[in-house]
Amino acid sequence: MNHKELVFIILTLFFSGLSAQQRIVEIEELLQKMTIEEKIGQLNLLTPGGGVATGSVVSENVEAKIKAGKVGGLFGVAGPDKVRVAQEIAVKQSRLGIPLLIGSDVIHGYKTTYPIPLGLASSWDLELIEKAAQMAAKEATADGINWNFSPMVDIARDPRWGRIAEGAGEDPYLGSKIAEAMVRGYQGGDLAAEHTMLACVKHFALYGAVEAGRDYNSVDMSKVKMYNQYLPPYKAAIDAGAATVMTSFNDVDGVPATGNKWLLTELLRNQWGFGGFVVSDYTSLNEMISHGLGDLQAVSALALKAGLDMDMVGEGFLTTLKKSLEEGKVTEEEITNACRRVLEAKYISGLFDDPYRYLDTKRPARDILTKEHRNLARKLATRSFVLLKNENGILPIQKNKKIALIGPLADSRENMLGTWAPTGDLSLAVTVLEGLKNVAPNARIEYAKGANITDDEEFAKRVNVFGTRIDIDSRSPESMLEEAVDLAKTSDVVIAVVGEATEMSGESSSRSDISIPESQKKLIRALVASGKPVALVLMSGRPLTIPEEFDMPVAILQVWHPGVEAGNAIADVIFGDYNPSGKLTATWPRNVGQIPIYHSIKTTGRPGPLDGTFEKFKSNYLDVPNTPLIPFGYGLSYTEFKYSNLRLDKETIGPNDSISATVTVSNIGKFDGEEVVQLYLSDMVRSITPPGRQLKGFAKVMLKKGESKEVTITLSPDDLKFYNGQLEFVSEPGEFKVFVGPNSDAQLSKTFMLK
């Protein structure tokens, strides 16, 4: 144990209200009593099935193994009664009675499902995001869970990767702030408290950079890029006190993350001072065999020595570590250290004081799916929506109109929750049809499906592994289309709910073509051709390529997968009860060929034109402009905001000084509304090539119609720093340019000098 780890333990124990000294002594005494088999047993995480299996293996003989002291934790078990059964076996029937950690994937809400994380991030509302995580922790702990496999903080700049849905998007600054907020929300100030659970930062590391956006693929990246662009959110989560870390499936610098000593020990523990424990991802230890690193015994020894503490499902540790110890391939100290870290997590969760502390059978009814939680889920969903376009002010729609509600997602309960919602209940989700009727009981609303999500049966089969999400209608596509167009023609306005089924994004759901499926494109064209005003409500778990739809004279409201209150929240925004304020946290490309695409691209030595024209021998394409279809940070409102009078409080600063930018933001439109004011920074000269501009601050402000506010965003000395060629975190003297505005194309700018 190094010094930093010791400090971490002492502090954590102190905050849990226990005597640090006493706890350390107790852990050491327990370790003294443990056999080597029992120590190895603590490193074993199993799932008895019943949850979502994300690999081909589900654990066997779980009960016998718990009795034998061969299990440190379980996941996929929930509910006070069920968890009590497991906990009692561990506490009463195993020799030392060590309680179990009970894990779960509570990715965007427990039973009260809120928007997928990419949607939640689009709110740019850190306070609300923290509240969302608190709500998730309250519900999950009421159901016996004490360890959450969240937050997922992988930076993702390739929307082909389905798991972009699970994170905060492309930006390390915003991603770091969101990671901190989620850790605070899950863990609170006291991990032993009734409503808090251990967070698990995942997937360490760089999982979002898998080549070609294909899930589980390789990653290869320079250290400079890693440190500056991809590692900050993991570090932020750890600095915020995240108790555990999950490794990723990919390799880092040629070594799978699960067995990567540089990553798990040198960086995570030695450089960052992480003192908690590290768990593998689902069988990622065993997968090191396929990666080409040796047999199960070899990869298990390698992973332990690298710094892995707990093995999820694969039982490589359980079945080989003793042999490796006997053969001198690992040491008893290495096994003991891993075991100690797992025991410490159980201590700080209060499980040794009371193994049944999360098992009050009265809590689920009291704490889960309460009115208050559903209201929060509805609010979170409205804040996650991004208005991409609003031709002729089609939105908001008046509540007394005759509305044609059309589209395969308009009356689809099973697609509202989004990917990775295994603890949610599909049957509770509010459809768009129901939501519109709830919010506007006097509107005349008629529904037609209009098209299948896709007509491709093979594709649908692949998407439908967890149940039917794409339902191919028995009617012909032509007759569905005809019915929809007829309905549109007799209505005042068309709302078309289109896009991706929930399982078209998420784990193992990469797409090489990220457009709206052709069946729905045909429907959209026909609806627009009807001449009626059309509002597209677009659902997806990723940025899509929509150049054709973006060119149409329509409104487009991007709603991701909004969660249990989907329909109500969509109706709130459609009818103007809430004025949309979400902003994209990942760039929307024009086509797949532009990927990877993100706002903080480098200028290169031959910057291409930004106006869409072409210049020979510049960095650009023959067939598409360099600019994205829709930039990072973008999102419209029903009102209009004007930015003016940007000023800095200093012209020159020293390396330890802060600097503040102030801008006047005016609501010059017809509605009250919220705006996310964004600050981007360009480092004009430095020792390694800088990104063109980087997000370095933002503020969400409410402005009444006609109101103006002064908004100040302050840059700290650290905001000017970056990791240089020697990986030192430094700022370098020279000119900086500040841009402030409504998105990453912000135009107002001012310059200052760092001495």
Q: Which of 549, 522, 539 is nearest to 454 (CA)?
A: 522
Least Å distance, CB 207 to ligand NOJ, is 8
- Residue 654 backbone dihedrals phi, psi, to 5 degrees: -95, 175
Identity of the residue, 379 or 561, whose beta carbon is nearer to ligand NOJ in the bound complex? 561
Is the alpha carbon torsion for 128, 130, 133, 137 positive or negative? Answer: negative
Least Å distance, CB 281 to ligand NOJ, is 5
Catalytic residue among 125, 251, 281, 455: 281
Least Å distance, CB 293 to ligand NOJ, is 19
Rounded CA separation 704/667 (Å): 7
Q: Annotate each residue in 86-105 with x if it binds ligand NOJ (CB under 6 A) or - if it does not, as one string.
A: -------------------x
- Residue 652 backbone dihedrals phi, psi, to 5 degrees: -135, 140
Identity of the residue, 105 or 414, whose beta carbon is nearer to ligand NOJ in the bound complex? 105
CA dihedral 105, 109, 115, 119 (to 10 degrees): -60
Identity of the residue, 281 or 719, whose beta carbon is nearer to ligand NOJ in the bound complex? 281
Among 202, 374, 583, 693, binds ligand NOJ (CB under 6 A): 202
Overall size of the chain counted in residues: 755
Rounded CA separation 387/136 (Å): 27
Residue 87, token pair as written in the block: 């906990």
Identity of the residue, 171 or 281, whose beta carbon is nearer to ligand NOJ in the bound complex? 281
Rounded CA separation 712/676 (Å): 12
Site for ligand NOJ in 102-131 (CB under 6 A): 105
Verify whether residue 190 is a known catalytic residue.
no
How many of the other CB atoms lie within 10 Å of CB of 189? 10
Identity of the residue, 248 or 731, whose beta carbon is nearer to ligand NOJ in the bound complex? 248
Distances (CA, A) of 262 to 255, 274, 412, 423, 725: 9, 14, 47, 35, 18
CA atoms within 13 A on the CB side of 11: 14
Least Å distance, CB 231 to ligand NOJ, is 18
Among 5, 139, 281, 683, binds ligand NOJ (CB under 6 A): 281
Identity of the residue, 101 or 405, whose beta carbon is nearer to ligand NOJ in the bound complex? 101
Least Å distance, CB 75 to ligand NOJ, is 6
Q: Which of 85, 38, 84 is nearest to 65 (CA)?
A: 38
The reply to whether 509 sits near ligand NOJ by the rule CB under 6 A is no
Identity of the residue, 281 or 503, whose beta carbon is nearer to ligand NOJ in the bound complex? 281
Identity of the residue, 73 or 635, whose beta carbon is nearer to ligand NOJ in the bound complex? 73
Residue 564 neighbours by CB under 8 Å, 6+ apart: 109, 111, 112, 113, 114, 374, 377, 416, 417, 424, 425, 428, 429, 430
Cβ atoms 106, 161 nearer than 8 A: no
DSSP 656-694: T--EEEEEEEEE-SSS-EEEEEEEEEEE-S-SSPPBS-E
Least Å distance, CB 249 to ligand NOJ, is 7
Least Å distance, CB 202 to ligand NOJ, is 6
Least Å distance, CB 54 to ligand NOJ, is 4
Site size for ligand NOJ (CB under 6 A): 7
Among 54, 196, 594, 626, binds ligand NOJ (CB under 6 A): 54
Q: Which of 574, 604, 582 is nearest to 690 (CA)?
A: 604
Residue nearest to ligand NOJ (CB): 149
Identity of the residue, 201 or 403, whose beta carbon is nearer to ligand NOJ in the bound complex? 201
Strands 722-723 and 729-730: antiparallel
Cβ atoms 431, 417 nearer than 8 A: no
How many of the other CB atoms lie within 10 Å of CB of 255? 17
Least Å distance, CB 105 to ligand NOJ, is 5
Identity of the residue, 167 or 691, whose beta carbon is nearer to ligand NOJ in the bound complex? 167
Least Å distance, CB 303 to ligand NOJ, is 16
Q: Which amino acid is at 519?
A: S
Among 204, 282, 632, 698, binds ligand NOJ (CB under 6 A): 282
Least Å distance, CB 547 to ligand NOJ, is 32
| E strands, 431-561, in order | 444-448, 493-499, 534-539, 555-558
Site for ligand NOJ in 127-186 (CB under 6 A): 149
Rounded CA separation 205/247 (Å): 7
Distances (CA, A) of 318 to 38, 61, 313, 340, 543: 10, 13, 10, 16, 42
Rounded CA separation 328/677 (Å): 59
Identity of the residue, 148 or 337, whose beta carbon is nearer to ligand NOJ in the bound complex? 148
Site for ligand NOJ in 564-583 (CB under 6 A): none
Q: Annotate each residue in 645-684 with x if it binds ligand NOJ (CB under 6 A) or - if it does not, as one string.
A: ----------------------------------------
Burial (CB count within 10 angstroms: exposed 0-12, middle 13-18, buried 19+), residue 577: middle
Q: Which amino acid is at 521?
A: K
Residues that bind ligand NOJ (CB under 6 A): 54, 105, 149, 202, 281-282, 507
Positions annotated as catalytic residues are 281
